[in-house]
Chains A and B, each alone.
Chain A
Amino acid sequence: MTGYGTVEEMLVGEDGEAVMGPLPRLRARLSAAAAGEGLLDVAYCTIDTPIGSLLLAATPDGLVRIALPNEDQERVLAELAVRISPRILNAPSRFDQAAREIGEYLSRSRRSFDLAIDLRLASGFRRSVLRQLLEIEYGATASYAQVAAASGNPRAVRAVGSACATNPLPLVVPCHRVLRSDGTLGGYAGGLQLKRRLLELEGQSEAGQ
């Protein structure tokens, strides 16, 4: 037999052992079976894009969370476990369309997303702000004050700012298209550099100047 140690040690096995050939396959099979039995409350995957690694998470209702490259992915998953359900599994095959559309968007070959979304992580006024953001078209921008007015509460400019800052679905819900009334960038959870880059990508080359 392989010459490592005592019978007891052989039974315990070694952490790095090659065994683990079957595990990736078994885990993929588990995700598929869990989804089939309605036990997969949150599926997730990570994708590599020109702006960095994104984490995508979805409930059976649709895409529920996109974490931008500056976010701690483990922390995001831990939050999803608390806020939605701990029944979370890696299931890349469920994100083929989302990954493709995001890739196309970031390479300028897509101007709008055709994905089911689940806004359960935003409630009340914040959710209505996110719905308003979906109305801002590719290449266009709006001010925080305009979004506040469109959301039915013209004085809630700061609340619009915090709805944008806590947008669970950046890129797809285009909070990067919201600027200050004077045309300066305002904020962005993914970092101002990324906000500027997205606006430039969409043709707003003077953004934030």
Chain B
Amino acid sequence: MSLPPFDDVVAEHGRTVLRVCWAVVGPVDAEDAWSETFLSALAAYPRLVAGSNVRAWLVTIAYRKAMDKLRSNQRAPIPIGMTLDRPFSDRELPDAELWAAVSALAPKQRGAVVAHYVGGLRYAEVAELLGTSETAARRSAADGIAALRKVISGEDSM
């Protein structure tokens, strides 16, 4: 078994990585975080063991890059709602309200929700990424989903 061309990796996981970046750092810095994620992954790629879980690898890098951006971001947080008016490329950021609600979660809940639901990491991987136990990661994700449901169900007639 050998490593596929990196281009295939970008094609397959570019979307997931972008959503993780959106969820953590918002639309403005997400593109830089996406680029830094894939550039750093490309540098390390030839040393990746063939057959590794590439998505988990990328999501872990993306989460850390996006968190770095979030921490070093000196600008004031973008108030909820304003993201709707921000041009995102040539179109609005899809699901802007969802991302606004995610960004308003408590940090542990946000991390668990993003890593597990947006990034598709298993809870053991989420726990490792967040430096917590699997049980705690599971609980944070459940609490986060409950909180999101509360915010969103008000406007969403499912």
- Closest approach, in angstroms, between the C-beta of B32 and any C-beta of chain A? 10
A30 touches B94 (CB 8 A): no
A59→B16 CA distance, assembly (Å): 29
Q: Convert B86-122 into 0s and 1s, putting 1 for each residue whose CB lies closer than 8 angstroms to a CB of A.
A: 0011110011011000100000000001000110100
B78 within 8 A of A: no
| Number of B interface residues in the complex (CB < 8 A) | 43
Query: Chain B residues near A39 (CB, 8 Å)?
Result: 39, 42-43
Most chain B CB inside 10 Å of its own CB: which residue of A6, A7, A13, A44: A7
Query: Chain B residues near A89 (CB, 8 Å)?
Result: 5-7, 10, 42
A10→B34 CA distance, assembly (Å): 20
Query: Chain B residues near A18 (CB, 8 Å)?
Result: 91, 94
Name which of A74-82, A114-122, A163-171 contacts chain B: A74-82
B6 touches A86 (CB 8 A): yes
Name which of A20-28, A132-140, A148-156, A185-193 contacts chain B: A20-28
Query: Chain B residues near A88 (CB, 8 Å)?
Result: 5-7
Query: Chain A residues near B149 (CB, 8 Å)?
Result: 6-7
A185→B31 CA distance, assembly (Å): 54
B76 within 8 A of A: no
For this complex, 13 residue pairs linking A to B, each with C-beta atoms less than 8 Å apart, are A10-B95, A11-B113, A15-B15, A19-B15, A21-B91, A30-B39, A37-B39, A81-B3, A86-B2, A87-B45, A89-B5, A89-B6, A89-B7
Interface residues of B (CB under 8 A from A): 2-8, 10, 14-15, 18-19, 23, 31, 34-35, 38-39, 42-43, 45-46, 88-91, 94-95, 97-98, 102, 113, 117-118, 120, 145, 148-149, 152, 155-158
Interface residues of A (CB under 8 A from B): 1-3, 5-8, 10-13, 15, 17-23, 25-27, 29-30, 33-34, 37, 39, 42, 44, 77-78, 80-82, 85-90
